[in-house]
Structure 1
Amino acid sequence: MNIANKLTILRVMLIPIFLVFILTDFTAMNHIYALVIFAVASFTDFLDGYLARSMNLVTNFGKFMDPLADKLLVASALIAFVYLGWLAPWVVILIISREFLISGFRVVAASEGLVIAASKWGKIKTVFQMVMILVLMARFDGEYIFYIENALVYIAVIFTIISAVDYMVKNKHVLTEGSK
């Protein structure tokens, strides 16, 4: 197993640790610890992709597991945010629905021996979702932070929709070819 794939696995392993800190209050610093853990996990997303491409370490495992690790990390944070009252449930439902949809496309493609790698729009979506999560976790104070947080939520939602449409249009053959 190469270093890029190990970083992806590390990201998955950080999720339960992140959840313990975000959902408990056994120290006054829990949210800060959760923020740092999420930031580290998010950075592994960038780092594993960079290493995989620059060192020619791209594998089918990485193409499958990297987006799945991102989905698990983001979904865990978003569900925790609904529980904490930090985010509206409709946002989480929309984002997670997109993830199920794209995962379904990937499963069908895999059954045909195809691997659907992350697209540019999917990567942009992930970046905005992770930035939104980090800003919401930072719990900034200030006169305008509410507007910044809301703008990030809506930008993340917009890129979530754009990336879903992009995947469906580019990969519609996955669903239509088997029905001929």
Structure 2
Amino acid sequence: MTSTDATAAGPRRAGVWNLPNVLTMIRIALVPFFVWFLVADAPGLHSGAGPWRWAAVAAFAVAIYTDKLDGDIARSRNLVTDFGKIADPIADKLLIGSALVMLSLLGELPWWATLVILVREWGITALRFFVIRYGVIPASRGGKLKTVVQTAAIFLYLLPLGAFAPWLVWVAFAVMMAALAITVWTGVEYVIEALRLRAKGRQAGTAKGQEP
């Protein structure tokens, strides 16, 4: 096939094995190491502040950076794939979810905060699949802000702040409360958007059925 033929055939679809997807898989692979680092630093699941805790902080930071990097590369090099669309949010939820659960197990974060975030995250994911036949719920600015604030809150909680400046623990708590507020707010927004999308889809289906 000549270059002219290739151009006429349209752009070649990106394969699964590309750099953004590899970065996503690395992020998923980092999750068990991240969890192990936290457990290794906290025998008996009591909060620790040793070298393994710092290893967990580093693993979380690297994983978060790969999240930004894979998205930037995929968009700039036209390497967006169906696999990436599915795997990327799963990787994010695994990382955030494992961090929240571990912080609660260590007694550093109230379980109710973890449950609110997890129920919202997985609930909205299920909602997206439920209404996908009517259309796709796009990511909102609030949703992106939620991710940033959640990440910042978790990162602050992971840092052994109490060993250096106990008052910074309250800063971490304040950021987490902000993350919770945005999480709930954006969750309600997505539910409203899903209901609108479903209503429009049903109206369109009814109108189509009434056409002669």
Structure 2 residue aligned with 1:87:
109
Partners in 1 of 2:134 and 2:160 — Cα distance? 45
- The structure-2 alpha-carbon separation of the partners of 1:48 and 1:30, relative to structure 1 and needing over 3 Å to count, comes to same
Deviations 1:102-138 (A, max 9, x none): 111222244x285545332222211111111111111
| Structure 1, 4-13 or 31-40: larger mean CA deviation | 4-13
| Structure 1, 18-27 or 79-88: larger mean CA deviation | 18-27
Match of 1:78 among 91, 100, 103: 100
Partners in 2 of 1:64 and 1:167 — Cα distance? 18
Q: TM-score, normalised by structure 2?
A: 0.76
Deviations 1:61-113 (A, max 9, x none): 22222112111100001000110001001100100010121111222244x28
> Pairwise mapping of residues 83-122 of structure 1 onto structure 2 (< 5 A)?
83-110=105-132, 112=133, 114-122=135-143
Matched, 1:20 2:48: no
Q: Which structure: greater helix fraction? A: 1
Matched, 1:167 2:190: yes
Please, which runs of 5 or more residues in structure 2 have no aligned partner?
A: 1-15, 44-48, 207-212
Deviations 1:126-156 (A, max 9, x none): 1111111111111113253122111111111
| Structure 1, 125-134 or 89-98: larger mean CA deviation | 125-134
Structure 1 residue aligned with 2:169:
146
Please, which runs of 5 or more residues in structure 1 have no aligned partner?
A: none
Structure 1 residue 166 displacement after superposition? 2.3
Q: TM-score, normalised by structure 1?
A: 0.88
Partners in 1 of 2:202 and 2:101 — Cα distance? 35
Partners in 1 of 2:197 and 2:119 — Cα distance? 19
Bigger Rg, which one: 2
Counterpart code for 1:98: R
> Residue 171 of structure 1: SS of its match in structure 2?
helix
**Contact residue 63 and residue 115 of structure 1 kept, 8 A:** no
Partners in 2 of 1:76 and 1:125 — Cα distance? 17
Partners in 2 of 1:178 and 1:37 — Cα distance? 46
- The structure-2 alpha-carbon separation of the partners of 1:44 and 1:164, relative to structure 1 and needing over 3 Å to count, comes to same
